[in-house]
Every structure is written in structure tokens, then in C-alpha cells.
Amino acid sequence: MKNLDPARAKWIRVRMGLLCGIMALGLGGFVSSAYRVQVEDAASWKETAENQRQRRLHIEPKRGGIYDRNGAALAASVEVPSISADVVEMLKGIDGQNAQAAALIDFSTRIAGALGMDPSDVHQKLANRRRFVWLKRRVTAEEAQAIRELGDLKKHGSTYGPGKGVVKGLGVEGEGRRYYPGRELAGPVLGFVAPDGFGKDGLELSLDEELRGRVEEVRGLRDRSGRLIFSEGTTDESSLAGHDVQLAIDQAIQRVAERELDVAFRTYETKGASLIVMDPTTGDLLAMVSVPGFNPNDYGEAEPDARRDRAVTDRFEPGSVMKVFTVAAALAAGSLKPTETIFCEHGTYSIGNVTIHDTHQNDWLSTTQVLAKSSNIGALKIGLGLGEPGLYGAYRRFGFGEPTGLPLPGEASGVLRPRARPWFEVETANASFGQGISVTTVQLAAAMTAIANGGKVMEPILVRKITDSRGNVVKEWSPRVRREAVPQTVAKTVTEMLTAVVEDGGTGVEAAMSGFRVAGKTATAQKVDPATGKYSEDKYTASFVGFVPADKPRLVIAVVLDEPMIGRYGGDLAGPVFRRVAEASLRYLGVPPSNAAPKIKNVKGSDADPSLVAIQKPGDPAQVEGSEPASAPASPDAPGAPVGPAALAGPPLPSSVKVPDTAGMGARDAVRAVGAVGLVPVVEGSGKLVKQLPPAGSAVPKGSSVRLVFEPAS
């Protein structure tokens, strides 16, 4: 620069200085930015990098299982494969919109062939070109293997795209599926789980929070086998798993109860039915049955009505079963003595403008006979003697008018009119024999435990305990006495009275068991016709509630049949169901028969053979109650009880009939033909009718049994 003009040299030095300054400023800014990125904002940039490298995963914990009291699985979760797709990855390496569109069509066809789907449905899912889309969930092992082969590099080499190349972006994800090993067993109690993983109906719904477990979001990847690879160590998926639930239900007793109730449901062509088996000393619900039922594995095929748990949701007028609690309350209050006799007004009694009838024109009946013959007039006189406050308070002590507190959705509390005003005399009279109030099957069973165990109403227990995945008890239900309904001496006295119901002359002889003393009560309550607001003459609720053995009760069983089409009387329809369930359950529990118990003769199906089904016997004692508000009779259990004014005015029935010819008929038609003439069909076996005794055309007394033997067709 010495040879340069001084002015030019100066200008060069200025330019160099400016350039160096600019470079220094740029370098300083770069260093400052690098410091900020690598030091000051290091944490946020690291998080951004991790987000780009990894994906967020929602860990769906394994749903807890539901088990019976002995540990047998009633509901379990199993891992099944589901197919997903990353469409962006699938089209990677294929250039051009037209080429990609053609590739999607080809991929859709090949994927649809592997999954057994419609190609148009697959193409519709791929057309959105999302990073994640479900193609088909919960597929078979064969379908999952076919998808793996589509993306197998070893099989197709490195060729991608249409044709026979590898289809990239397909994933086989592991998903939980709810499985019910017992199929229809306890279906309405258990409910089901929807594809979104949430419980619907039954225990799956009410205990959904405990069963689902804790859903957690983590960052990581899944390998080809569906196992999680976590960026920050490993997460124990068992720590997130749902809790296990152990029920009080015994699978063996539940199965027997469902079988017998289903036979009655189909034989008597009822609208529905429910049954409860309860341990009177602990309150454990050993069986809870509702028919028609459904298979939770195929819940989509079931009607909503079949998924309803009738034992807790359906309320009905109980009828004569309430006479048990009326008598117990009067004995406890001292308004009635066990040896007292009641004048039953020759079978007709008027209160205001309402006339109440007994089928038999009884005069004086003891308290035991009031129960055994199911006299409405005797019961209402006992109720009126107790008084409206005493009767209402007694029903409340037995648990009526309030839910039992079972962890099931939709439990009804029944209807026991609140005492906002005193009951009218006719309301008290009707309530004393089970009209004008409504109950549920589980309420009846729980109330009867107070008679069976010495006066204490036990809280029904459906869930015994909830445990976590490590076996630690989270919550446990122990036997709990809700209240004392009556003194122990009164309960024992009523028990002895109830044994007369199943003895000769009582309304429940069909419930009698050889080797065991049975205590119970029948009911055949007329239902209210919604169209008229009056009691129907052809719609009934037939029930039997009792316990066995009477001297040391092990089981309380409540059987309720809703609107049977063949027969109507609770003793004849529900009594045999009680007997067969009780016999099988006592054998299962190892309870030996008592030598002191009466030997029952000529009781149909007393050996608990499920193939023997006794149909309603018109000539047997039975109970019908229900009176129209004005003057229609409320007729009690009685042999051949006519129903309604028209029936009372009709001609007397003949003393003998001819046995109809049932040759060539199916089981249902044969049962109807025999029952239509007033005979009792006794069905043995299934299939083709091979024998009829007595033979067709024989003249036999009305009410006699006709044996119909069926054998499977060869």
C-alpha cells in the first residue's frame, strides 16, 4: 500500500475496517445464538428434538378381570392384533400424484384381500393420507399373518410400490379384547365392554373406573411385535393395569339356576323371569339370574331388553309373599298371637266400595292357616289390626321402598307410598297382601333373609373384594346387618308357619323337598293393565320365595316369573324351579338331608332331573290376588281358583276329562293340548314324542298327570 496514492490507501483501510467490523458482528451474533440454543434454551430444543424423533403413545392398561367367589374367570382381557397404516410411509418413494393414486388403488385391493374387506372401504381410509389410521381392529391370527407377509422384505425383496412389492407403512398393533368364558353365564350381571374400551351395562359399567386402570401417555416406539420401547427406561405396564374384581356369585350355582329358570321361561312362555340365590347368614348373592339373557361376547346380536338385569331393575306387585312380613310385623308388635284365629267372613269382605274375596269360603283360620291357604281376608285383618303406621314401618324395616345398594346400574327402589299422608283403610288392607306396592326380586330375597336368620336384614353382597394387579386388597365387602326387622323368637315362629305352606293343604307343595324341610311362600299377583288402569284377568306374576333347610337355613331363593302364558299359579310354576335349584345347590354345597325331614311322595321331578318339567296343575292349590279398585275380587291361592267376575259366574268344571291324542305333535303343542283340558303334562327328555301315558282317549280325573316321553330323533 506504500506505492498507492495516500487517499486510495486510506479508502482501502476504511473498507477493510468496515468489513472486519461486519464480520465481527456476524460472528458475535452467531456465537450468541449458539450459546442461547445450546445453553440457555437447551432444554426446550432437546424436547423439540425428542418430539421429532419419537412419538407419543397412550398406554392402554390391561383391563382387570372379574372372577367368581372361587376364582373362576367370568370376564378376562386377552391381547388380539389390530391392523393400522401410515399412508405417508406407504407412498414414500412413489413420485407423482397419478402414480400415488394408482398405488393406493393397488394397495387397497391387496390389503382388502388379506383382511377380507371391501377394497372401496380400505381405499376410503387410505385416501386421507394420514400418518395413522385403523384399517381393521381385532383381527384373526390368519389376517395378521397375511398383513405381515405384505410388508415382508425377505419375501418381496426391496421392491416397493404396486404389483407384488412390499406394502410399507402397515402395522400390527396389540389391542385388548374382553372375553367371557361362560358365554351367556351371568350376562346381564356382567354387562359388556364396547370397542372404545369403556364398560357398558352391568358391572362392567358400574365398576368401569376400577376395571380400566390408569391410562398414561409416554414417549416411545413400538417394535414389530407390539412391545413398547421407551426413551426413558422401561415402564411396568402391570402398574397401570386395572383392578381385579371377585364376586360373591358361585359359578356352579349360577349355572344351575340359569338352566332351571331358562327351562321354566321357555316351558311356560313367560315374558321374562328372575331368580336370586342368597346366603342368609352373610348376605352373599350366590346366583343372580335374569332371562332372557345374552352373550356378552356377541352383545351386538342381543336385544336391549335381554341385556336388562330384571332382578334389580324390574319392579312388580309382589302379591301374597307380603303376607309373611305382615304376619311377622303383627307378631312383633303384639297385635297378633301365634295361636290366634281370624274369622275370614265366608270368603267375602267389603271395605268401603271395594270387595275383597277369598276363593274358599273360610270361616275361622289360625295364623298358620292364613299363610298356608293364603287368605287375603285373614291377611288384611291382621294388617288392619297392626295399623297403617305399624305396617308401613315394618315394610321399611324389611327394606322395601329403598334400593339395596348393589353396584349395578339402574337398580329400582320399588314403590312404597311415602307417608306424606296416612294410608286410607283400603290402602292398608291392599298393602297387607301385596297390592298397591311394588318390589324387586333382590328386595324380596333380602327381606326373606330376616326370617331365615333370626330377624336381621343382611345387606346383599355382590362384590366381595377388589384387588390390584399385585394382589393387594383395594376394597373389601364384609357381611353387614342393615337393621333388625323382627325379634329372633318372631322369626322362628314365622319359619314354622311357613313350613305349612309346602305341606299337604298348602299352596306350595310343589316346592317340597325329600329330606329337607322347606319354608316359603307362594304368590300369583294380577298385573295392572296400562290400558284400563285395572287389574288384568290374564296377566300375572307368579313367584315363590323361601329358604332351606328350614331349621338351619343355608339358602334363600326367590323365583319370579313374569306373565306366564301356560299356567299362572306361583306354587305350580315357581315352586318346582325353587325345588330343583335348591336340591342341586345343597348337593353342591355338601349339605346332607335330615332324617327328621318329611319324605315327600308324588312330587313331580323331586329328584331335580332337569328334563322333567311339571306344568301348572289347575286342580292344585294356588294363589291369585288382585282386586279392581271398585269391586273385582282379589282371589287368593286355592285349588282351581277362578279369576274375575266372569269366571265366578261360569258353570262348574267337569270332574273327569279324556286324555287328548298328542301323537305327532311337538313338545309345545303337546303341552298346550294336555293343559287345555285341565290335565298336567309331565315332559321327559326332548326331541320326538315316543310315548304318552295314560293313552289317548282314557277318561281320567281333571288335574291328573299325563306323562309325555320325548327322545332325540335318530
At residue 600, the 3 state secondary structure works out as coil
Using alpha carbons, list the distances in angstroms from residue 553 to 122, 281, 516, 586.
62, 8, 10, 11
Whether the upstream peptide bond of residue 292 has omega within 30° of 0, thus cis, is yes
What's the rounded Cα separation, in Å, for the pair 393 and 419? Answer: 10
Close Cβ partners of 38 (under 8 Å, ≥ 6 residues apart): none
Distances (CA, A) of 169 to 130, 135, 221: 11, 12, 14
Query: Are residues 152 and 159 in contact, defined by beta-carbon separation less than 8 angstroms?
Result: no
Q: In 10 A of CB 702, how many CB atoms?
A: 17
Which residues, in sequence order, are CB contacts of 691 under 8 Å at separation 6+? 707, 708, 709
- Give the contacts of 538 (CB within 8 A, at least 6 positions apart): none
Please check whether residue 641 is in contact with residue 363, taking contact to mean a CB–CB distance below 8 angstroms: no
Helix (H, G, I), strand (E, B) or coil at 363: coil
DSSP assignment of 92-104, as one string? TT--SHHHHHHHH
Q: Using an 8 Å Cβ cutoff, are 211 and 243 in contact?
A: yes
Could you give the CA distance from residue 251 to residue 696 in angstroms, rounded to a whole number?
A: 43
Alpha-carbon span 268 to 249, nearest angstrom: 27
User: 110 to each of 122, 154, 157, 293, 657, how far by Cα in Å?
Assistant: 10, 18, 17, 41, 73
Name the pairing type of β-strands 680-684 and 705-711.
parallel
Q: Which residues are catalytic?
A: 320
Please state, in angstroms and rounded to a whole number, the distance separating the CA atoms of residues 619 and 701. 10
**How far is the first Cα of the chain from the last one, in angstroms, to the nearest whole number?**
123
Q: From CA 518, how far away is CA 510, in angstroms rounded?
A: 11
Q: Looking at the DSSP assignment, which residues form a beta bridge with residue 228?
A: 222
DSSP 550: S
